[in-house]
A and B are shown apart, each in its own frame.
Chain A
Amino acid sequence: MPKPNVIKGHRVRLFFMMHRMKLIIILSITILLALSVWGLYSLESFYRHMTLAQLPISVLLSGISAAVFVFMYLIGFGSGLANIGRNPIKGAMVDIKWSDVIGMEEAKQESAEVVQLITDRARLKKIGGKIIRGLLLVGPPGCGKTYLAKAIATEAGIPFISMAASEFNEIFVGVGASRVRKLFNKARTYAYGYGACILFIDELDAIGRTRTFSFMGGAQETNTTQNQLLVEMDGLNEKDANIIVIGATNAAEGVLDPALLRPGRFDRKIFIDRPNLVEREKLFQYYLQKVKYDPSIDIGRLARKSVYKSPADIESIIKEAALIATRKGKDIVEYKDLSESMERIDMGLKHRVHMTEQERRMTAYHESGHLVTLYLLHPTDDVFKASIIARGGALGVVHHQPREEWHTHNRDMLLADIKVSLAGYVAEKLKCGVTSNGVASDFRNAMAKANSMVWQFGMGDNGFLGDYTLLTGFQTGREFTNDLLSDRLKYELNMETNRILQNCLKDVETLLKKEETLLDRFASELLKKEELEYDEIEAIFAEYGKARPAVPPVSSS
């Protein structure tokens, strides 16, 4: 690991800059001590002994008084208002190498470039290039933004100061700005001594949100804090210190203030996305090494099953699986434990709900309807589990995952999603002759998708193209737009939405009537076993000679 070197000739001055307060305190103590010794010497030995005899108890009482004072001060003033609550030097904890960063290869490469630019600052300046001031790590939660920032600090080998943006905020206006100033002053001191300093601000959106202006002055503190940050990053400073601010946020780009994102501030953005299939495999391998596991576990299958999972999710799955295995008295983690762990994380804990036989039957047919439709009509998703054990607020569940990451959804996928959502309703109607309110969330999903297809994606059959939601009148920042859609147009669009739903309903009805035997079989299996695993589901479909549709799907409508 590279060791930060103090610039030649700066050592003594840096020492005084960094330890100014300590030196003042030491000097004061030394003077006081010398005066005390002198004072004691001027006393006769009896009075000197008396004073010295009282010294331990005086020290003890002073210590107690100081502790009481500090306690009262902390209770009364929190972290001392403008003071930065904790020691911002977190570098002692930073020991993360590039090799420890898994599941974000592209982000890693970009970060390596940044580290190169930080360390080659002198060369860059010679060429005339502009130095990097800010680096923004954006991405969903749990994808390793903070982890990557630590790796950057370790690899760059320069001081690293870490703060959460929420730590700047206080109820008092001006305290946040004061903390920003203090933090940057500290960073400048380190930059003076070591040539550069990294300032990491986690959850940047806490102070980096688009500034709002209210006559009530509600957001004044956040605005002031952010203004100070803007000035410190690229303001009128007497010296150009080599401070690189790394911000991390999972807020969308539009949430952050444009002034913060302009070149000269956070002028480089690294997007850290969820890991792909290969990266997930690596992550499973990495985290499984930390526990004892069954070597016959198919890591590829785990990776396929955990589409859209973040590295933090994967770590959590392994931890939970280890707990499950321990609870079951096993020595090693098996595939079943991992599967159960994933279900717990995805679907929540099981809980027994007493259902009548009629309710159980209806739930079994509802879930079987989803299952059969999903398996036979959905082009991208696999069914991993079907269950009629209550979890969360649902009486049953069909757990499905896409076989691979899809960053867009085409018309057939969306239609398939709608059909799968409606299948529960159709199955209930077909086999029980009556439907339940258990279809509410299914209908919500189906309606939302059909609505978006027509209103936003131009996927209706009536020829309307464009995002009509933009014309319905809404607020953009401080502006309001008028509703520009006529009632007739709205009617037409809504009718098209309904038509999609009706067509899907017909398709599902046709399918389930055709596959009624299969539907009955799954319902009876569920009533018998309550849960069906991936292999069991596959076996039943195979028994009936059914196969999944090919990928990519061919439009049927």
Chain B
Amino acid sequence: MNPVRNLCTITLGVSNGVKRIVFFCILPLVLWGIGCSPTYPKEKLSASLTRLCKEEYGVDVSVQIVGKTIGVNVPLEKLFDSTLKLSPEVGDKLDGVILATSRAVLSTDDPPDFYVVVARDKRIPGIELKLIRYIQDIRRLSYGDLSRSEYTKRMLFEFGLGLGIFQEESDRFHLEEVKLGEFLANQIAQRIKGHFEEELDLKKETDVKSVQGEFITPPAGSRENGFGRFVVTLDVQKRGIDIWGRLGMAQEKRILEASLSVILEVLQGYRFSVFDSVEIKTPFLNHTFLLSRDVLELYRRKKIHLSELLLPNDFNFSPLDAELLLKK
């Protein structure tokens, strides 16, 4: 035995090899142990979120889960002031509830796809503030994969009377599951409306009466095949003194171009491809544009021009034409 080998291994009984093995095994085990348990287990998610809101923000909420959607009902005192504006103090509480909901859905096993937060002023029945978020968006924001402004645009926000999804029955409330197609259709409508308000040229010339989005899936058991179609209804009028409210050709083109860019941005942003077509209804033109998914893709890739899309449906691209063009 080498004397100096002995020297180097004066230990209190454990050899270097064993120590290394123990160290390199224990460390990953500890880290794995830390990482694997969810903070808010699926079974206790509702109770956990209720407790979190109560303990951290002093707000009593009721929580319900339907399919892959979690709903939070937030009844608050003095949510709105006399002009129906959000009161800042109570608004902070609402922010807290939204944050708590985000935290809870992120740190649970088998997380839902959407959360819906509905805030109501106890004094003014029927008026609701509704907020819908896609959980994946929250996650992407945390990873730095989404900008804050894009994240805000992706949130559905509604304020009004009896918004439909929530219908309170004492502590219980009725919640309908949110589907991605429907969420995107609503988001498209909301973003088109926002876009028209942001773009000064459009805002000067046009008056957006309403934009509505729907995702229509074939009814169960029907013979129709496919995933479903987006239907966007644009009700726009010319601003000014023209009593007919008619738009010029150039304006019409700009409106359609802007709407299409928003539609493409949303669908591309979510990599959503399980749809068959997009239908743009334009009461101001008294016309409906039906764009198949492939045609839309061609337009996105700038292989076809907007003017070609504006042709009457009879002259529009057939799905076969579009497929051939895409393959080129």
Residues of A whose CB lies within 8 Å of any CB of B are 1-4, 6, 11-12, 14-15, 18-19, 33, 37, 40-41, 44-50, 52, 55, 89-92, 94-95, 154, 157-160, 190, 193-194
Asked, given contacts A37-B30, A92-B8, whether A44 binds B3 with beta carbons under 8 Å apart, the answer is: no
Contact A89 B7 (CB under 8 A): yes
Complexed CA–CA distance, A157 and B1 (Å): 10
Taking a contact as CB atoms closer than 8 A, the residue among A52, A55, A190 that contacts B7 in the complex is: A190
- Interface assignment of B4: CB less than 8 Å from any CB of chain A: yes
Chain A nearest CB, measured from B32 CB (Å): 9
Taking a contact as CB atoms closer than 8 A, the residue among A1, A12, A49, A159 that contacts B35 in the complex is: A49
CB closest chain-B residue, reference A12: B12
Q: Report B-chain residues with C-beta under 8 Å of the C-beta of A55.
A: 31
CB closest chain-B residue, reference A11: B10
CB closest chain-A residue, reference B32: A52
Asked, given contacts A15-B12, A52-B34, whether A44 binds B107 with beta carbons under 8 Å apart, the answer is: yes
Asked, given contacts A1-B2, A37-B30, A44-B106, whether A91 binds B7 with beta carbons under 8 Å apart, the answer is: yes
Taking a contact as CB atoms closer than 8 A, the residue among A2, A41, A49 that contacts B3 in the complex is: A2
Chain B nearest CB, measured from A214 CB (Å): 41
Q: Report B-chain residues with C-beta under 8 Å of the C-beta of A45.
A: 35, 37-40, 107-108
Chain A nearest CB, measured from B29 CB (Å): 11
Contact A46 B3 (CB under 8 A): no
Asked, given contacts A14-B10, A44-B103, whether A92 binds B35 with beta carbons under 8 Å apart, the answer is: no
Q: Report B-chain residues with C-beta under 8 Å of the C-beta of A160.
A: 3-4
Complexed CA–CA distance, A50 and B39 (Å): 14
Work out how many contacts link A and B, with CB atoms closer than 8 A.
81
In the complex, which of the residues A2, A6, A91 has the most CB atoms of chain B within 10 Å of its own CB atom? A91
CB closest chain-B residue, reference A50: B142
Complexed CA–CA distance, A158 and B35 (Å): 50
Contact B4 A159 (CB under 8 A): yes
With A6-B10, A52-B34, A160-B4 known, 15 other A-B pairs at CB within 8 A are: A1-B1, A15-B10, A40-B34, A44-B103, A45-B37, A46-B106, A46-B139, A47-B107, A89-B4, A89-B7, A91-B2, A91-B7, A95-B2, A158-B3, A160-B3
Contact A92 B142 (CB under 8 A): no
Mark out the residues of chain B between 1 and 50 whose CB falls within 8 Å of any chain A CB in the assembled complex: 1-8, 10-12, 27, 30-31, 34-35, 37-40
Chain B contact residues: helix, strand, loop or mixed? helix
Taking a contact as CB atoms closer than 8 A, the residue among A15, A37, A47 that contacts B11 in the complex is: A15
Q: Report B-chain residues with C-beta under 8 Å of the C-beta of A49.
A: 35
Contact A92 B2 (CB under 8 A): yes
CB closest chain-A residue, reference B36: A45
Contact A18 B3 (CB under 8 A): no
Residues of B whose CB lies within 8 Å of any CB of A are 1-8, 10-12, 27, 30-31, 34-35, 37-40, 103, 106-108, 139, 142-143
Complexed CA–CA distance, A52 and B1 (Å): 44
Q: Report A-chain residues with C-beta under 8 Å of the C-beta of B35.
A: 45, 48-49, 52
Complexed CA–CA distance, A463 and B12 (Å): 79
Q: Report B-chain residues with C-beta under 8 Å of the C-beta of A90.
A: 4
Q: Report B-chain residues with C-beta under 8 Å of the C-beta of A15.
A: 10-12
Complexed CA–CA distance, A50 and B139 (Å): 10
Complexed CA–CA distance, A95 and B5 (Å): 11
Q: Report A-chain residues with C-beta under 8 Å of the C-beta of B108.
A: 45
Chain A nearest CB, measured from B227 CB (Å): 31
Asked, given contacts A50-B142, A52-B34, whether A44 binds B4 with beta carbons under 8 Å apart, the answer is: no
Q: Report B-chain residues with C-beta under 8 Å of the C-beta of A41.
A: 34
What are the 10 closest A-B residue pairs judged by CB atoms, nearest first?
A91-B4, A46-B106, A44-B107, A45-B107, A46-B107, A44-B39, A45-B39, A4-B3, A45-B38, A52-B35
Chain B nearest CB, measured from A332 CB (Å): 35
Chain A nearest CB, measured from B61 CB (Å): 18
Asked, given contacts A44-B103, A45-B107, A91-B2, whether A193 binds B34 with beta carbons under 8 Å apart, the answer is: no
Contact A1 B3 (CB under 8 A): yes
Contact A193 B30 (CB under 8 A): no
Asked, given contacts A37-B30, A46-B107, whether A92 binds B5 with beta carbons under 8 Å apart, the answer is: yes
Q: Report B-chain residues with C-beta under 8 Å of the C-beta of A37.
A: 30, 34
Q: Report B-chain residues with C-beta under 8 Å of the C-beta of A190.
A: 7
Complexed CA–CA distance, A89 and B8 (Å): 9
CB closest chain-A residue, reference B139: A46
Taking a contact as CB atoms closer than 8 A, the residue among A40, A48, A91, A193 that contacts B10 in the complex is: A193
Contact B39 A52 (CB under 8 A): no
Complexed CA–CA distance, A90 and B4 (Å): 8
CB closest chain-B residue, reference A18: B10
| 14 pairs of residues in contact across A and B, judged by CB atoms under 8 Å | A1-B1, A3-B6, A11-B10, A44-B39, A44-B106, A45-B40, A48-B39, A52-B31, A52-B35, A89-B4, A89-B7, A89-B8, A91-B4, A194-B7
Complexed CA–CA distance, A12 and B3 (Å): 19
Asked, given contacts A4-B7, A91-B7, A193-B10, whether A48 binds B34 with beta carbons under 8 Å apart, the answer is: yes
Chain A nearest CB, measured from B37 CB (Å): 7
Contact B39 A3 (CB under 8 A): no
Complexed CA–CA distance, A153 and B250 (Å): 99
Taking a contact as CB atoms closer than 8 A, the residue among A11, A46, A94 that contacts B142 in the complex is: A46
Q: Report B-chain residues with C-beta under 8 Å of the C-beta of A157.
A: 3
CB closest chain-B residue, reference A197: B7
Contact B37 A159 (CB under 8 A): no
Chain A nearest CB, measured from B220 CB (Å): 35
Chain B nearest CB, measured from A113 CB (Å): 20
CB closest chain-B residue, reference A156: B3
Complexed CA–CA distance, A55 and B32 (Å): 12
Q: Report A-chain residues with C-beta under 8 Å of the C-beta of B27.
A: 33
Complexed CA–CA distance, A523 and B288 (Å): 120
Asked, given contacts A49-B35, A52-B31, A52-B35, whether A91 binds B142 with beta carbons under 8 Å apart, the answer is: no
Q: Report A-chain residues with C-beta under 8 Å of the C-beta of B6.
A: 3-4
Q: Report B-chain residues with C-beta under 8 Å of the C-beta of A12.
A: 12
Complexed CA–CA distance, A42 and B178 (Å): 32
Asked, given contacts A44-B39, A46-B142, whether A92 binds B1 with beta carbons under 8 Å apart, the answer is: no
Taking a contact as CB atoms closer than 8 A, the residue among B7, B39, B106, B142 that contacts A159 in the complex is: B7
Q: Report A-chain residues with C-beta under 8 Å of the C-beta of B139.
A: 46
Q: Report A-chain residues with C-beta under 8 Å of the C-beta of B143.
A: 50
Complexed CA–CA distance, A14 and B9 (Å): 12
Chain A nearest CB, measured from B44 CB (Å): 13
Complexed CA–CA distance, A505 and B141 (Å): 105
Contact B34 A159 (CB under 8 A): no
CB closest chain-B residue, reference A55: B31
Q: Report B-chain residues with C-beta under 8 Å of the C-beta of A91.
A: 2-5, 7
Chain A nearest CB, measured from B31 CB (Å): 6
Q: Report A-chain residues with C-beta under 8 Å of the C-beta of B10.
A: 6, 11, 14-15, 18-19, 193
Chain A nearest CB, measured from B179 CB (Å): 24
CB closest chain-B residue, reference A90: B4
Chain B nearest CB, measured from A18 CB (Å): 6
Q: Report B-chain residues with C-beta under 8 Å of the C-beta of A158.
A: 3
CB closest chain-B residue, reference A89: B4
Chain B nearest CB, measured from A47 CB (Å): 8
Chain A nearest CB, measured from B317 CB (Å): 45
Q: Report B-chain residues with C-beta under 8 Å of the C-beta of A44.
A: 39-40, 103, 106-107
CB closest chain-B residue, reference A154: B3
Chain A nearest CB, measured from B161 CB (Å): 36
CB closest chain-B residue, reference A49: B35
Q: Report B-chain residues with C-beta under 8 Å of the C-beta of A194.
A: 7
CB closest chain-B residue, reference A47: B107
Complexed CA–CA distance, A159 and B7 (Å): 7
Complexed CA–CA distance, A44 and B37 (Å): 10
Contact B39 A92 (CB under 8 A): no
Complexed CA–CA distance, A193 and B31 (Å): 39
Q: Report B-chain residues with C-beta under 8 Å of the C-beta of A154.
A: 3
